Amino acid sequence: MKKKLNLTLLLVFIACSASFAADKVPPPPESKPDLELTCEEADARIEQYNQRIDALARNLADLKAAIVQAETDLATQQANLEDCNKQILALIGATDADVEAFRQRLGVIEGKIRQMKGLSNDVLADRRADVVALENELNELRKEKIAVLPEFFERIITDARDIKGLYREKKISGYTVGTWAQDRDCLWNISGKTEIYGDPFQWPKIWQSNTSIIRNPDIIFPGQVLQIPPAGPKTDDEAKAERKYWRNKRAAAALTE
């Protein structure tokens, strides 16, 4: 009976101890500070580190092998590119020296374009001949077979567009009337000049800006200096004056009939 009791007490003690141990679970070895590890735990941690080191070493070896393969592939592609370029140069009958000379000539043109882009509209209008010369220079360059090379093709197209954007028309604020016999100057013809409006129907703008010296728009005199207003749609006053002018013309024509 006593043995049974002792055994029962022992079982109860073990159960209680197990319950207490469940509430106080020790941390895993990985979370313990190194100084608190047992010898077995320290050995296990060292083994884990060694396994990680071995895995990293294998990954490093794989990466190095991949780099070597990539360098080999790159060298192959570079060799193929060089061979392709040589074949292209052979097709257009050019050498590396020819391509370099072309590259420098194009660079000079692009430098001129950049310089002209920084000029004002008035200066560009005065240097129209320089813009024309620059455009002709580029057109001569693009006639060469080297211009079709990928390095130059898109650049030349962009340069041509930039040169087109450099053209400016000189703004005229005043115009001195010439003779009819030599210049055929009348408000209609003056308005139609390219450097004025390029549109003869805009003549009322000139008339209305010079009413102090023009009484009859059909009559202007050589030597008169006319003020030329900015181009644009006719103002209400200009359109009204034009309508009145034509009414008077029709009325005068009716009287003569």
Q: Could you report the per-residue pLDDT of 171-196, keeping only the tens digit for each?
A: 667 899 999 999 999 999 999 998 88
Q: How far apart are CA 206 and CA 214, in angstroms?
A: 10
pLDDT over 90 at 63, yes or no: yes
Give me the mean pLDDT over the 113-141 stretch.
Answer: 92
Alpha helices in the chain (DSSP H): 2-23, 39-92, 96-117, 121-126, 128-142, 150-164, 180-183, 187-192, 203-209, 236-256
Q: What is the mean pLDDT of residues 61-68?
A: 95
Which residue has better confidence, 237 or 4? 237
Give 52-62 pLDDT, tens digit per residue: 999 999 999 99
Compute the distance between CA of residue 226 and CA of residue 196 in angstroms, rounded to an integer: 11
For residue 197, with 0-12 CB atoms within 10 Å meaning exposed, 13-18 middle and 19 or more buried, which class applies?
A: buried
User: Per-residue confidence at 120, pLDDT binned at 50, 70, 90?
Assistant: confident
CA atoms lying within 13 Å on the CB side of residue 116: 26
pLDDT at residue number 105: 97
Whether the predicted model's global pTM rises above the 0.75 cut: no
Write out the two tokens for 101: 């000379």
Flag whether pLDDT at 96 surpasses 70: yes
